[in-house]
Amino acid sequence: MNCRPEDMLVYAVTDRAWLKGESLKDQVEKALKGGVTFVQLREKNLDRRLFLEEAATIKELCDSFHVPFVINDDVEIALASGADGVHVGQKDMDVKEARRRLGPGKIIGVSCKTVEQAKAAEAGGADYLGVGAMYPTDTKSDTSQVTVETLKAICRAVDIPVVAIGGIRADRIQPLKGTGADGVAVVSAIFGQPDIEAAARRLKETAEMYLGRHRRRKTVLTIAGSDSSGGAGIQADLKTMLANGVYGMSAITALTAQNTTGVSGIFPVTPEFLAMQIDSVFSDIRPDAVKIGMVSSGELIRVIAERLSYYKAENIVVDPVMISTSGSRLLDEDAVGALKELLLPMAAVATPNIPEAEVLSGICIRSSEDMVRAAEIISREYGCAVLCKGGHRLNDANDLLYRDGGFCWFMGRRIDNPNTHGTGCTLSSAIASGLARGYSLEQAVERAKEYLSGALEAMLDLGSGSGPMDHGFQIP
């Protein structure tokens, strides 16, 4: 599925009729600042050259806000502008033909009024449905109304996200509560308002109030050590998960007596007790993703691998913690083999720092090229994606993701902050949070780096050593 329920929450459809002298770009930017989660460019009579120009402009803007962008009806403009997809009506191009032309990676939305139309659209490959008109609307005069009961029946009948559309305003959202709709698509309730940004924000708050509750909060389990100073380990993980919009849970592998200057003691739990913690969580609240941090011994690693395999855990992020920022060994040397053979093959992604990547790959890393080679060796050897983190480099904070034979760089501006305790724990937990919420690995890494940079830029300065970050920083 290329789009997620949360993308539908506030779906803005443009309408040139509301421009009133400002550009469409300015209007859409205000809507994006107000928090709209999806944008559709709808043009019915615009010259095609201008249509394409407008589409390319809005696409660039939406990309900068990480908001999906589709074109109404016109597949060719969608392809030419690089839009994320199209939205087609019942009288427009058939969804299967649209899929044939757009390919698997694009979003296709389909307008529906009945359960039969909805099921046919889903079967044809639609990624979401637009259902309406829920109320009388000026935007589309030739459309009949859909009842709340029909909307509810459609939401029950399909698994793909559903957005309600047609004459919707903030004061008309409450009747949609409990239908299962994932959000509302609006035109004049945003673009026809004097303060577009404020209108978008009010719609989002109202939609979250009445429609957000049925979308289950995503959950993430961290299996890691406790850092008494709160800057790394499960403490950093849980703070990071909260800040990244998921519900965090923890199974503790070891207690560490630790602060910003070092680790003065490690008290591992027994394998039996670690298994009990994992079982307690999975038997009651299934995690949508799992982050594995500090695991000090091979026997604890074996228990984790066995339990996660039993539960068929998904979206596993393995942070191969070996040495703390303060230089203390956190993984027994004889456990490296178990980590490689048992945990890496289960991982959606492993996130070694440079020293850890050297241990796992067996090569020295002195350059960007070495980072690529090391990540490739680990990825090919253990079958997982590998994000080789660049925090230990001097001039930048670029991280290298290697997966399926290809690689890409995530550029990071070097932040002049000596307090980097827990950066690795924080990044891997933020990645797990993104995977739990349905982002792709690349999107999850990008959002995680954005979060981490903000938490570093907050310049928290605690302790006499390399201090923790400000996890309370919220990304937009």
Ligand X SMILES: Nc1ncnc2c1ncn2[C@@H]1O[C@H](COP(=O)(O)OP(=O)(O)OP(=O)(O)O)[C@@H](O)[C@H]1O
Ligand Y SMILES: Cc1ncc(CO)c(N)n1
- The binding site for ligand Y (CB under 6 A) comprises 224-227, 232-233, 256, 258, 293-294, 321, 324-325, 330, 422, 424-425
- 225's contact among ligand Y, ligand X, Mg ion, none, with CB below 5 to 8 A by partner kind, is ligand Y
Q: Which of 271, 391, 412, 424 binds Mg ion (CB under 5 A)?
A: 424
- What phi and psi, each to the nearest 5 degrees, are found at residue 101? -80, -35
Tell me whether residue 137 is annotated as binding: yes
- Least distance to Mg ion, CB of residue 102, Å: 40
Q: Which of 180, 420, 426, 467 is catalytic?
A: 420
Catalytic residue list contains 150: no
Q: 37 catalytic, yes or no?
A: no
Least Cβ distance, residue 350 to ligand X (angstroms): 11
Closest to 372 measured CA to CA, from 414, 407, 417, 330: 407
Does 111 show up as a binding residue in the annotation? yes
Choose between 428 and 453: whose C-beta lies nearer to ligand Y. Answer: 428
Residue 413 Cβ vs ligand X, minimum distance, rounded to whole Å: 6
CB of 319 to ligand X, least distance (A): 7
Instruction: Establish whether 138 is an annotated binding residue.
Output: yes
The torsion angles phi and psi of 388, rounded to 5 degrees, stand at -85, 115
Nearer to ligand Y, 180 or 231 (CB): 231
For residue 113, give both structure tokens.
């009024």
Q: How far is the CB of 29 from Mg ion (least distance, A)?
A: 38
Cis omega (within 30 of 0) for bond into 198: no
Shortest distance (Å) from residue 422 CB to ligand Y: 6
Dihedral sign for Cα 275, 279, 281, 287, please.
positive
C-alpha closest to that of 354 among 290, 278, 299, 423: 423
**Phi, psi for 283 (deg, rounded to 5):** -75, -5
Q: Would you give the binding string for ligand X spanning residues 378-417, x where CB under 6 A is met?
A: -----------xxxx----x-x------------x-xx-x
The count of C-alpha atoms lying within 13 angstroms of the C-alpha of 283, restricted to the half-sphere facing its C-beta, is 7
Q: How far is CA 132 from the centre of its chain?
A: 28
Among Mg ion, ligand Y, ligand X, none, what binds residue 397 when CB lies within 5 to 8 Å by partner kind? ligand X
Question: Is 25 part of any known ligand binding site?
Answer: no
131 within 8 A of 95, measured Cβ to Cβ: no
d(CA 114, CA 116): 5
Question: Helix, strand, or coil here: 39?
Answer: strand
Alpha helix ranges (H) inside 312-353? 336-338
Has 420 been annotated as catalytic? yes
Q: How far apart are CA 31 and CA 38, in angstroms?
A: 10
Report the nearest approach of ligand Y to the CB of residue 424 (Å).
6
Q: Is 177 an annotated catalytic residue?
A: no
Q: At what angle do helices 24-33 and 48-64 cross, to 10 degrees?
A: 20
Compose the 336-375 pattern: x for residues touching ligand X by CB under 6 A, - for all others: -----------------x----------------------
List binders of Mg ion among 338-377 (CB under 5 A). 353
Q: Is 140 annotated as a binding residue?
A: yes
389 catalytic per annotation: yes
Check whether 167 is labelled as a binding-site residue: yes
**Contact status, residue 386 vs residue 349, Cβ threshold 8 Å:** yes
Please give the residue whose beta carbon sits closest to Mg ion in the complex. 424
Pick the closest to residue 211 from 134, 304, 275, 96 (CA basis). Answer: 134
Closest to ligand X by CB, 222 vs 325, is: 325
Least CB distance from residue 440 to ligand Y, whole Å?
26
User: Which is catalytic among the residues 206, 219, 256, 423?
Assistant: 423
**12, 22, 62, 189, 193 from 18: Cα distances, Å:** 13, 9, 20, 11, 9
Binding site partner of 294, from Mg ion, ligand X, ligand Y, none, Cβ cut-off 5-8 A by kind:
ligand Y
The response to whether 72 counts as a known ligand-binding position is yes
Is residue 388 among the annotated active site residues?
no
R_g of the chain computed on alpha carbons: 24
Q: Which alpha helices (DSSP H) does 17-147 contain, by range?
A: 24-33, 48-64, 75-81, 95-102, 115-123
Distance CA 401, CA 431 (A): 12
Q: Does 420 bind ligand X (CB under 6 A)?
A: yes
Residue showing tokens 């690349």: 442
Tally of CB atoms within 10 A around 163: 30
193 is in an annotated binding site: no
Q: Which is nearer to ligand X, 239 or 449 (CB)?
A: 449
User: With binding defined as CB under 6 A, does residue 161 bind ligand X?
Assistant: no
Distance between first and last Cα of the chain: 24
* 117 marked as part of a ligand binding site: no
Residues near ligand X (CB under 6 A): 232, 325, 353, 389-392, 397, 399, 412, 414-415, 417, 420, 422-425, 427, 449, 452-453, 456
Binding residues for Mg(2+): 73, 92
Q: Which segments are annotated as binding site? A: 40-44, 72-73, 92, 111, 137-140, 167, 187-188
Where in the sequence numbering do the catalytic residues fall?
Answer: 389, 420, 422-425
Binding site residues, Mg ion, CB under 5 A:
353, 424
